[in-house]
Every structure is written in C-alpha cells, then in structure tokens.
C-alpha cells in the first residue's frame, strides 16, 4: 500500500457533510463507522424505518442524521437533499438480494434504477458537492467466458438477470450524469463480492455458511458449488471508498471514471464453504454440503466472476490488504461476538 494514505487524514474529512444512501446496509454501516472516526458528519437514508442493529452495536447510530425515505420516491428524496449542502455522496442503496430480484424484478428495478436517477437528479445543482460515488457491481458485466476473466473496465456490460440488469442500468445512468451535459462529479465502482463484519443479509454465501457452522441456520446451496466468485474484505472496500471520494474531490477530471476492484482470485463456492468449515473445525458439515452440491444446478446466476485492482493501482497505488483467510477469521469471530449480544431470532421477525 502506498505510504501516502493522504486520503485518510482527518484534516480532509473533519466536518465534511456526507450523504450515504443505504445507511442501514452492510457497506453503508461500515463506511459510516470509518468516516465518523475521521470526524465527518453523516446523513443517512434508508427505506427501513429503524436504524439497523450493526449501527446500534457499533455505537454509531446516534451520530447519524437518519432519514427514513424510499429513494424511488423522487419528491421525498429531493426534499431531504435540499435540506443540506453535501460535500460528498455515496450511493449504496439498492435491493441487493439476488433471490428477491429473481422473484420481484419490479421492486428491484424501482430501487436500483429509478432510485439512482432520482438521487442524481436531486443532486443536480448542489453547489458544494465534489464527489459522488455510485456503487455499481461486477454483476453489471454479465456472463463472460472464464478465459476472458478477469473483467476489465472497458468490457461491454451484457447483463441478463434482473439484479445484474438493474446494476448495469444504474451504472449507465450514472455515466450519463457524469457526462459534459450534466457534469456531476461521479465515479462508478464495480466491486466483487464483499464480506465481513456487519453483513446482516444472512442469505449471502459467507454469513450463511458461518451461521450454519454456528448452528443458527441450515445451509442450503443455491447451485452446484462450482461458480467462481471473488471476495473483497469490507475494510478494504471502505478504505477504497475513502480513497476514491478524496481523489475525485481533489481532481474533478476523474469524473466519469469506472473502477473495478477484486483480488484477482476466483474461488468456487465449494472452496469458500471448505475454507469456512475447516477454519471452524467442522469437516462433517463440509462433506454434508458437498453432497448437496452434487444434486443442484445453478440457474439465473452468472457462472464465474473475478476482477483485478490493476486500474486502481495505476491511478492511486491502491490494492487490497486482506487475504481471504485473514478476512474470514475476523468475520467468524465478529459473528460469534455479535450474536452473543444480539439475539439471532430478532432477525427472523
């Protein structure tokens, strides 16, 4: 990592007014925690009325100016944005559950597509705003042959399934608002799968498998375990989000840039399950799941995905610091502690 982590200086972040959409989410919560520690002021938007348990657990809930609003509601969103004079905005709100997207594409498109143009339209004319980071996703690329991976930023977006289409659409919309027509200072991020403390969507692979090892849930594979995925640890992602917002703030010529981030390594779902079960000393569970993989077929999902951080390194000397094994160790011990304090059953209501 570059010795100049100038993007983490309090001098820059102190008193900066930052909008985070999706504050109740996994990345939103972790990012808020990081930026509050740097003395920034956070305004958060969520379509969940109550602040989530991660924000409470991390004791940052009270430090966030929270607004309950659905970003698909333009007039409400515009009113909130107009109350502030933001310096930086992170657009993270999205319906991210791939299974929900398969069953309810409408809801997914409303949040992820309409929500994105509502937000960017509301931000037009914001005088102080110098950085908008829009979270797209590796899913926006759609299906490529394994031999063509890792994805490059200049690859065509060719999504097919609803979540993937919603992210690619938001990605294009963001690009259009960054164009010479509107000149919004936007960077678009296409990150690999993210894992770590605070991921409370327990249907995602890593929390699902860790919680199965802790006997809270039954792990039911969604496919045959052969799909390859790339995993970034959440601390790396928050570090990168600080890096991108800082650099765009200082250099408006970065507007419209797209950055992939991954670790260069694709792990099959089978390998991830194996790593978690081995770390947690539960080979028996691994062999049970392996048998279930044999009877499953993956449908409605991209086969293989992984990416590099090559462009990020070229521009900012940025690279991820966490190896998957280290990230998994931290994550496993975080879930153990968290679930001692917060009753798992409270998530099932």
- Rounded to a whole number of angstroms, the minimum distance from the CB of residue 140 to ligand NAD is 9
Region of 93-101, 285-293, 302-310, 311-319 interacting with ligand NAD (CB under 6 A): 93-101
- Applying CB under 6 A, among 12, 47, 153, 332 the residue interacting with ligand NAD is 47
SS3 for 344? helix
Catalytic residues: 163
- Applying CB under 6 A, among 35, 98, 129, 135 the residue interacting with ligand NAD is 135
* Residue recorded with tokens 């299974």: 99
Task: Select 24 or 122, whichever has its Cβ closest to ligand NAD.
Answer: 24
- Please list the residues that pair with 91 across neighbouring strands: 21, 134
How many Cβ atoms sit within 10 Å of the Cβ of residue 310? 16
Annotate each residue in 292-321 with x if it binds ligand NAD (CB under 6 A) or - if it does not, as one string. Answer: ------------------------------
Q: Which long-range contacts (CB under 8 A, 24 or more apart) does 14-17 make?
A: 14/38, 14/39, 14/40, 15/39, 15/40, 15/41, 16/40, 16/41, 16/87, 16/88, 17/41, 17/43, 17/84, 17/85, 17/86, 17/87, 17/88, 17/128
CA distances from 97 to 72, 206, 212, 348 (A): 17, 14, 19, 16
Region of 11-19, 46-54, 271-279, 314-322 interacting with ligand NAD (CB under 6 A): 46-54
- Applying CB under 6 A, among 19, 20, 27, 238 the residue interacting with ligand NAD is 27
Per 3-state DSSP, the chain is made up of helix, strand and coil in percentages (nearest 5) of 45, 15, 40
- Is residue 26 at the binding interface for ligand NAD, with CB under 6 A as the rule? yes
- Applying CB under 6 A, among 28, 150, 197, 327 the residue interacting with ligand NAD is 28
Taking the C-alpha atoms of residue 261 and residue 193, their distance in angstroms, rounded to an integer, is 10
- Please list the residues that pair with 18 across neighbouring strands: 42, 88
Region of 18-26, 217-225, 239-247, 274-282 interacting with ligand NAD (CB under 6 A): 18-26
- Is residue 194 at the binding interface for ligand NAD, with CB under 6 A as the rule? yes
Name which of residues 52 to 81 contact ligand NAD (CB under 6 A). 70-72
> Which structure tokens are listed for 1?
């990592």
Task: Select 290 or 330, whichever has its Cβ closest to ligand NAD.
Answer: 330
> Which residues here bind ligand NAD, judged by CB under 6 A?
22, 24-28, 45-48, 70-72, 92-96, 111, 115, 135, 137, 167, 191, 193-194, 201
């Amino acid at each position: 990592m570059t010795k100049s982590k100038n993007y983490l200086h309090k001098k820059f972040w102190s008193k900066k007014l930052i909008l985070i959409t999706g504050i109740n989410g996994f990345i939103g919560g972790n990012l808020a925690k990081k930026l509050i520690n740097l003395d920034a002021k956070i305004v958060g938007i969520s379509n969940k009325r109550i602040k989530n348990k991660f924000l409470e657990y991390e004791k940052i809930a009270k430090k966030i100016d929270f607004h309950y609003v659905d970003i698909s509601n333009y007039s409400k969103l515009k009113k909130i944005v107009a109350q502030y004079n933001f310096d930086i905005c992170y657009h993270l709100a999205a319906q991210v559950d791939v299974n929900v997207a398969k069953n309810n594409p409408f809801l997914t498109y409303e949040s992820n597509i309409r929500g994105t143009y509502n937000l960017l339209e509301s931000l037009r004319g914001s005088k102080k705003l110098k950085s908008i980071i829009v979270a797209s996703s590796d899913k926006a690329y759609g299906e490529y042959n394994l031999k063509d991976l890792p994805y490059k930023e200049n690859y065509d977006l060719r999504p097919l399934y609803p979540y993937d289409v919603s992210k690619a659409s938001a990605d294009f919309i963001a690009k259009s608002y960054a164009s010479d027509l509107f000149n919004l200072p936007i960077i678009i991020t296409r990150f690999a799968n993210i894992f770590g403390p605070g991921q409370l969507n327990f249907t995602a692979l890593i929390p699902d498998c860790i919680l199965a090892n802790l006997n809270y849930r039954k792990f039911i594979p969604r496919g045959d375990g052969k799909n390859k995925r790339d995993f970034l640890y959440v601390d790396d992602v928050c570090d990168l989000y600080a890096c991108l917002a800082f650099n765009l703030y200082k250099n408006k010529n970065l507007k419209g840039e797209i950055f992939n981030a991954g670790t260069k390594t694709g792990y099959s779902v089978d390998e991830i399950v194996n790593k978690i079960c081995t770390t947690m000393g539960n080979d028996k569970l691994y062999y049970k799941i392996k048998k279930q993989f044999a009877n499953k077929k993956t449908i409605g999902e991209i086969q293989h995905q992984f990416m590099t951080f090559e462009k990020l390194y070229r521009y900012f000397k940025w690279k991820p610091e966490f190896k998957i094994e280290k990230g998994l160790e931290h994550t496993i011990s975080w879930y153990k502690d968290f679930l001692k304090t917060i009753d798992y059953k409270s998530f099932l209501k």
